[in-house]
């Protein structure tokens, strides 16, 4: 039994409840940046702009994280920069939990909700799926569906781009075109399917 597609469907229905049960609103806003993109360091003003938190709430959360050793706070000139502490014993677990509940997959699943009636399957591929991405990496998404218009897909994903702070590159196929490409051994579709993927809707490896 495939675990990831089941988990993906579960998160699509209950993801918001899971994240709300684990994190406060302030934590959700902050963790999605600090631990969702742990390779990136942030100035205080940048975090205030990205999270929308007030100065007091933000400072309180950052001080708590720094005291616990979960975040490094370094002075750079007159400012401090904050970054997830990769030496923390719970670093990997916290990053994984954040990404599963607040990261790329839940955000994209939520963004694609208006297109669900048309979608057969959708998934993330490339560096994000391989976990080799950086803060500047694009997010590659493949979608298979009926009557998908690229303009509609781009419009649906625009809020996710703003929330994640990254460009999203969608590739759209009809079910017929997708199956035709799968029959071509050296096709781009088969190269994608031979590498790690993160399911958003359905299962990439099931017939369209």
Question: How far apart (Å, rounded) are the C-alpha atoms in residues 26 and 50?
Answer: 12
Mean pLDDT computed over 90-119: 90
Quick check: helix, strand or coil at residue 194?
A: coil
DSSP state of 187: -
Position 206 in a domain: no
Nearest to 71 by CA among 59, 57, 93, 86: 86
Position 56 in a domain: yes
* Residue indicated by tokens 């999605």: 32
Provide the number of structural domains found in the chain: 2
208 pLDDT band, cuts 50/70/90, is low
Angle at 86 between CA 30 and CA 101, to 5 degrees: 40
Tens-digit pLDDT profile for residues 106-165: 889 989 999 999 999 999 999 988 878 877 889 999 999 999 999 999 999 999 998 888
Where do runs of H (alpha helix) occur along the chain?
Answer: 3-22, 25-34, 44-51, 55-67, 91-101, 104-111, 127-130, 150-164, 175-182, 188-193
Boundary-marking domain end, from 100, 115, 147: 100
Res 87: pLDDT: 97
Tens-digit pLDDT profile for residues 183-192: 998 999 999 9
Question: How far apart (Å, rounded) are the C-alpha atoms in residues 122 and 144?
Answer: 6
Position 8 in a domain: no
Question: How far apart (Å, rounded) are the C-alpha atoms in residues 206 and 189?
Answer: 13
141 near 166, Cβ under 8 Å? no
Q: Which residues contact 7 (CB under 8 A, 6 or more apart)?
A: none
For the record, the structure tokens of 108 come out as 């994209």
| 112 and 173 part of one domain | yes
Q: Which residues on neighbouring strands pair with residue 140, listed in sequence order?
A: 125, 169
| 110 and 133 part of one domain | yes
Res 126: pLDDT: 94
| 83 and 116 part of one domain | no
Mean pLDDT computed over 94-99: 88
| 75 and 111 part of one domain | no
Boundary-marking domain end, from 100, 116, 132: 100
Residue 84 has pLDDT above 70, yes or no: yes
The sign of the dihedral angle between the CA atoms of 4, 12, 27, 77 is positive
* Residue indicated by tokens 């719970």: 90
37 pLDDT band, cuts 50/70/90, is confident
Position 107 in a domain: yes
Domain that holds residue 139: 103-201
100 pLDDT band, cuts 50/70/90, is confident
138 near 167, Cβ under 8 Å? yes
Mean residue pLDDT of the chain comes to 87
**CATH number of the domain encompassing residue 168:** 3.30.460.10
| 92 and 146 part of one domain | no
Residue 17 has pLDDT above 80, yes or no: no
- Buried b / exposed e along 90-106 (16+ C-beta atoms within 10 A): ebeebbebbbbbbbbbb
Res 63: pLDDT: 96
| 81 and 157 part of one domain | no
Mean pLDDT computed over 19-36: 88
User: Percentage of the chain surpassing pLDDT 70?
Assistant: 91
Res 207: pLDDT: 61
Mean pLDDT computed over 82-109: 90
| 163 and 117 part of one domain | yes
Nearest to 46 by CA among 66, 62, 65: 62
Position 71 in a domain: yes
């Amino acid at each position: 039994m495939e675990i990831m597609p089941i988990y993906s469907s579960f998160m699509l229905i209950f993801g918001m409840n899971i994240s709300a049960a684990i994190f406060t609103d302030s934590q959700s806003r902050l963790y999605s940046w600090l631990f969702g993109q742990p390779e990136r360091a942030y100035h205080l003003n940048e975090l205030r702009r990205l999270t929308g938190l007030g100065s007091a709430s933000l400072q309180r959360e950052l001080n708590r994280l720094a005291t616990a050793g979960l975040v490094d706070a370094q002075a750079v000139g007159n400012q401090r920069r904050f970054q997830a502490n990769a030496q923390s014993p719970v670093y990997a677990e916290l990053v994984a939990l954040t990404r599963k509940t607040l990261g790329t997959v839940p955000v994209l699943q939520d963004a694609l909700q208006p297109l669900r009636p048309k979608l057969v399957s959708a998934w993330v591929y490339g560096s994000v799926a391989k976990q080799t991405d950086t803060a500047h990496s694009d997010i590659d998404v493949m979608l298979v569906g009926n009557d998908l218009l690229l303009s509609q897909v781009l419009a649906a994903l625009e809020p996710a781009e703003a929330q994640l702070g990254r460009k999203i590159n969608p590739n759209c196929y009809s079910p017929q075109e997708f199956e035709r490409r799968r029959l071509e051994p050296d096709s781009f579709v088969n190269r994608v399917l031979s590498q790690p993927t993160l399911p958003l809707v359905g299962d990439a490896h099931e017939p369209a």
